[in-house]
């Protein structure tokens, strides 16, 4: 069984149920493949290409993922710094594109190679203490967000998880993807991205707006399908998103970050309740 959507893969399975024989059937799974991000910079005749990161992601919106990652990690500040994005290397079997994205920087944009040797925050077991993590964000020149804006009504917050879930087409078929959505204070879901990695979904979402030259995103909130980790808050902060609504729990470091930088952080959001961990001055009702 195959799928025409590159984000999905069909596999044969045996379904086991109590009191029944095993049933042979087909199942759809979310695709997970590695994607390498390479950055090329320097004079056109002596360009340096550097492999910067490899992430496990769901194929699709790969340019958004690469651009969003470079932006939310503080490597790039403005869309004008990117001259071109393209796939390089041999095509992945079954698809027309490869799993390598090359980002060519505009003339005059240089990278500090030494600073790029640091480990990116990609897992909760990165081994860096909380204070060092928060200080590292502040050292990048990130300032606290504008106090009290935008404002979200309590009823709108209650509706956001269902609105996000209703807009997840691949999750409906596979059950295996996280989602991140950009929302207005009125609760309109203006953009959504799905991926096997919650961080990738956020990078794709923010990357789309970055490539369109529409960052920072101070007029919006972001709703995420899973928990709210430090990494999610860091990426939202770099993009200037002041309100984060998570279906799951926040981590302690995420709450510390929200407090320090003036972000509104909501966890365990549903139609029945939500927990407000920081930034109550943006929630009405």
Catalytic residues, which ones?
126
CB 238 within 8 A of CB 257: no
Which residues in 248-262 are b (16+ Cβ under 10 Å) and which e? eebbebbbbbbebbb
Contact 225, 197 (CB under 8 A): no
Rounded Cα distance between 96 and 108, Å, is 32
Q: What is the 8-class DSSP label of residue 149? A: -
Sign, Cα dihedral of 182, 231, 196, 4 = positive
Is residue 3 within 8 Å of residue 9, measured between CB atoms? Answer: yes
In the chain, which ranges are continuous DSSP H helix? 62-72, 130-139, 154-166, 169-174, 198-211, 230-238, 252-261
Q: Give CA–CA dist 204/192, Å, rounded.
A: 9
Strand-strand pairing, 243-246 and 275-278 = unpaired
In 7-61, where does DSSP find H-type helix?
Answer: none
H/E run at residue 27: strand 23-30
Give me the sign of the Cα torsion angle 104, 105, 111, 115. negative
């Amino acid at each position: 069984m195959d799928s025409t959507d590159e984000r999905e893969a069909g596999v044969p399975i045996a379904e086991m149920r109590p009191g029944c024989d095993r049933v042979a059937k087909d199942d759809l799974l979310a695709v997970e493949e590695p994607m390498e991000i390479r950055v090329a910079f320097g004079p056109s005749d002596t360009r340096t290409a550097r492999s910067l990161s490899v992430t496990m992601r769901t194929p699709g919106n790969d340019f958004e993922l690469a651009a969003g990652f470079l932006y939310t990690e503080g490597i790039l500040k403005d869309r004008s710094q990117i001259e071109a994005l393209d796939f390089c290397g041999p095509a992945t079997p079954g698809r027309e594109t490869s799993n390598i994205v090359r980002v060519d920087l505009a003339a005059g944009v240089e990278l500090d190679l030494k600073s790029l040797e640091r480990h990116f925050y990609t897992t909760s077991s990165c081994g860096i203490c909380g204070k060092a993590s928060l200080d590292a964000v502040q050292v990048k020149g990130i300032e606290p967000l504008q106090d009290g804006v935008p404002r979200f009504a309590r009823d709108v917050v209650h509706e956001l998880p269902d609105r996000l879930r209703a807009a997840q087409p691949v999750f409906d078929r596979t059950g295996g993807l996280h989602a991140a959505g950009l929302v207005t204070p009125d609760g309109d879901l203006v953009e959504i991205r799905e991926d096997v990695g919650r961080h990738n979904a956020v990078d794709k979402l923010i990357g789309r707006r970055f490539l369109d030259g529409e960052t920072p995103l101070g007029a919006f909130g972001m709703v995420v399908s899973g928990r709210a980790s430090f990494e999610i808050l860091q990426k939202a902060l770099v993009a200037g998103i002041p309100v984060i609504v998570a279906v799951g729990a926040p981590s302690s470091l995420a709450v510390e970050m929200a407090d320090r930088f003036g972000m509104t952080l909501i966890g365990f959001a549903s139609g029945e309740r939500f927990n407000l961990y920081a930034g109550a001055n943006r929630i009405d009702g």
